[in-house]
Amino acid sequence: MNEPKKLVLVGNGMAGVRTIEHVLKLSPGAYEMTVFGAEPYPNYNRIMLSKVLAGGTDMKEIIINDLDWYESNGIQLYKGDAAVRIDTDNRKVISESGVEASYDALIIATGSNPFILPIPGARKEGVIGFRDIHDCNKMIEAAKSYKKAAVIGGGLLGLEAARGLLNLGMDVTVVHLGKHLMDRQLDAPASEMLRRELEEQGMNFLMEKQTAAIIGRRRAEGLEFADGSRLEADLVVMAVGILPNVELAKSAGLQVNRGIIVDDYLQTSAPGVYAVGECAEHRGIAYGLVAPLYEQGAVLAKRLAGVDTDGYAGSVTSTKLKVSGVDVFSAGMFNDAEGTRSLRYQDDIDGVYKKIVLKDDRLIGAVLFGDTSDGASLFSLIKSGESVAGREKELLLGYQTGQSSLSPLARLESCSEDEIICGCNGVTKGRIVEAIADGNHTVGKIKGCTKASASCGGCRPEVEGLLQLYGGDMAGEPVKEGICGCTSLSRDEIVSSIKELRLLSVKETMNVLGWSEPEGCSKCRPALNYYLGMLWPAEYADEKESRFTNERYHANIQKDGTYSVVPRVYGGVTSPADLKKIAAVAEKYNVPMVKFTGGQRLDLLGVKKEDLPKIWEELDMPSGHAYGKTLRTVKTCVGSTFCRFGTQDSIGMGIELEKAFERLNTPAKVKLAVSGCPRNCAEATIKDLGVVAIDGGWEIYVGGNGGVKVRAADLLCTVKTEEEVMEWTGAYLQYYRETANWNERTSVWLERVGLDAIKAALEKQEDRQALVSRIEETLSRTTDPWKEIIENPELRKNFMPLAEAGAGAGETLGGRRS
């Protein structure tokens, strides 16, 4: 058996590691492999950096090959140890730490560096490129202290950076030298549609602006433009392009132009030395998209494995991506030029734009905005070069001559085998079909063996379609149920997308996330309204039309169409003055019944809807929120104030809790109780959160329920002081708010996530304090809803008798019966 040859890879990025993945499959054991990486991480997906910056993904989730993969394949990885010298005469690579590695074959995959404008102030503190995880981390840290960001560059990278900074709470302005955003991928009409969409999401734009200098002393304080105008900014992100990283190759004497010059087999000017990826220049072109780089890697891997292969002939590029929730596709030569013809379709209402460009009866380019379903079939025609004479309009509108509109499955079936389905990982239709034939009959299994859909997930519908086409009865992906029939997305997927894309309204969320029912339903609309308010307490305006009747009128509707009114009675403790007010109002408005509730309050039953504003105005008491998904009551016993068994002041503790957390919106109703001793007269151990006094401290119980499904609460912790009770309660309620499903009581939530997981989340004081700060932010922006109605005559009109004449029992949503 021949001794394995030595293969060294310089650069631990996507293109280089993909090449050695192919080598391992084509010729296992043929090479002893060594990899040098400048970053202290295993191979990760650089395409997903914008998601890390946006906060919806962490570093672990974008790792493509973890450390176990290197070890299991016998690869020696030197991470955080960049190669600094190549000795082509002695065939050796020397690293920064002094490691020397001999090679029979060397692959240079050093990628590219962000282009930093050569202007005054470009090296100031607060000026960052956007190229790797280190840049992401610097921006995330900067956003904690600074609030005004300028992103120089309106291309894809710049918009991704701007989107992430918006999600971090910064005021973001994109500065672009050209007239149109993403001018390398979109023509002018599509670019303008994108700009309008992004402006609605909160981005600001300065177009046709040339940055002349970055102003400030040590740290950036703004930009100065060539026309003399200025923009304030304490964080500046350069996203104006990339430069192939050729310094190492240049110092080794390799032939270099803009990139490292390679032939059709990716061979450089030095024997045994190859280059792939963004650092390589082939036939005068250095590619920056993933698919061409993977095509290069496939050719080089076959060459290294001794497999016959045609050389790399260059790539016709296409881009299919989602920019801030908007689908975009472009391919080929999409701008008009001499000798070309073009056809366009534009729908500003639905946000759809399509354009195809033809030359000599052949399709040479296309742009799709908003609806990219025809992208794969158009790209196949661009690459094949076949005549499309007579089919031009049908191609634009998604039709074939003499046939009805092609379904998504028919489009997939018509694609060629070499069509790229997963652009992030360069996976072709043929590779996926081959994986299905090998017995991989779920999306998860296909992802595992081909990496299709493993990155941004945008190609998942196509992968599912291929499974349906070629898996037959064996295809077995379970049907995914969402929060309602309007969507297949789960609660976690929706919340993650709202955070990542910074969605700020119910309508926008439904539109961007592809709701099947544009107006939603009685399940999803209140849920989205809650999630948006929970995530963006400072920016989101509560949508009253997405609440049930009870919550919109701040009273419980009864079976005869009247309402019940429950004013807030803190801890069940009232006063003669408040009792007189309640009695006077009940008498004046002929309230049929005044009843003590189980939560130690008074309920005025049988109130007419038109009397609700006047009753609340004359009561001049906060609402008890007996109707809402919020804190209802804090039940107390008399505790040590009067009871001979009481060990602590349960009344005072209960009132403090109720005043702290009243008006707090929660996924479902929440009830609290405080008992002054273990005799538990306030029934604290069947509440969502119960506090029981013991000698020298307090026990906090959670997840109880005294309703249809009775559940005894679990002991969360034992604390000594009232301050600790408040801290643990606030942290627990906020953690519930952030992780529970809509309409999920704490008892059900606790059983789903587990008491141990909740304890772990609240174990560290710094984590509890972070949760408390978020709940305090929310509470600082809430007021009693009746104040707004009492003070606004227009809102009072909603309570006139004709507004909902004949309303009967049951809840309605937005005026419709649920």
- How far apart, in whole angstroms, are the C-alpha atoms of residue 18 and residue 12? 10
List of residues 6+ apart from 756 with CB closer than 8 A: none
Q: What is the dihedral of CA 748, 750, 754, 757, to 10 degrees?
A: 150
The enclosing H or E element of 672 equals strand 670-675
Alpha carbon 85 to its chain centroid, in Å, reads: 41
**Is 681 among the annotated ligand-binding positions?**
yes
Alpha carbon 576 to its chain centroid, in Å, reads: 53
- How far apart, in whole angstroms, are the C-alpha atoms of residue 686 and residue 671? 9
- How far apart, in whole angstroms, are the C-alpha atoms of residue 195 and residue 209? 16
- How far apart, in whole angstroms, are the C-alpha atoms of residue 672 and residue 685? 10
- Identify residue 259 by its one-letter amino acid code: G
Supply the DSSP string of 415-435, one letter for each residue: S-TT-EEETTTTEEHHHHHHH
- How far apart, in whole angstroms, are the C-alpha atoms of residue 246 and residue 264? 19
List of residues 6+ apart from 98 with CB closer than 8 A: none
What's phi and psi for 472, nearest 5 deg? 60, -140
End-to-end CA distance of the chain: 74
Neighbours of 112 (CB within 10 A): 19
Helix axes 156-167, 133-145, angle to 10 degrees: 40
Q: Does residue 322 contact residue 457 with C-beta atoms inside 8 Å? A: no
Q: In this structure, what token pair is assigned to residue 85?
A: 């010298």
Alpha carbon 107 to its chain centroid, in Å, reads: 35
Query: Among 359, 452, 456, 469, which residue's Cα sits nearest to residue 415?
Result: 469
Q: In this structure, what token pair is assigned to residue 447?
A: 């992802």
* Tokens 């997305």 belong to residue: 489
- How far apart, in whole angstroms, are the C-alpha atoms of residue 394 and residue 208? 37
The residues that bridge with 327 in the sheet, in sequence order, are 322
Supply the DSSP string of 651-669, one letter for each residue: HHHHHHHHHHHTT-B-SS-
Query: Among 117, 194, 189, 193, which residue's Cα sits nearest to residue 155?
Result: 194
Q: Does residue 238 contact residue 153 with C-beta atoms inside 8 Å? A: yes
**Is 424 among the annotated ligand-binding positions?**
no
- How far apart, in whole angstroms, are the C-alpha atoms of residue 596 and residue 49? 57
> In angstroms, what CA-CA distances link 215 with 140, 204, 659?
22, 20, 48
Supply the DSSP string of 336-357, one letter for each residue: --TT-EEEEEEETTTTEEEEEE
**Is 279 among the annotated ligand-binding positions?**
no
Q: In this structure, what token pair is assigned to residue 653?
A: 């503790």
- How far apart, in whole angstroms, are the C-alpha atoms of residue 199 and residue 193? 10
Q: Helical H runs in 271-406?
A: 290-305, 375-384, 392-397
Radius of gyration from C-alpha coordinates of the chain: 32
- How far apart, in whole angstroms, are the C-alpha atoms of residue 183 and residue 335? 10
Query: Among 289, 305, 159, which residue's Cα sits nearest to residue 237?
Result: 159
- How far apart, in whole angstroms, are the C-alpha atoms of residue 7 and residue 482? 48
**Is 643 among the annotated ligand-binding positions?**
yes
HSE value, Cβ hemisphere, 13 Å, CA-based, for 152: 28
- How far apart, in whole angstroms, are the C-alpha atoms of residue 90 and residue 108? 17
The residues that bridge with 174 in the sheet, in sequence order, are 151, 205
DSSP tag of 406:
P
Give the annotated binding-site residues for siroheme: 681
Give the annotated binding-site residues: 637, 643, 677, 681
Give the annotated binding-site residues for [4Fe-4S] cluster: 637, 643, 677, 681
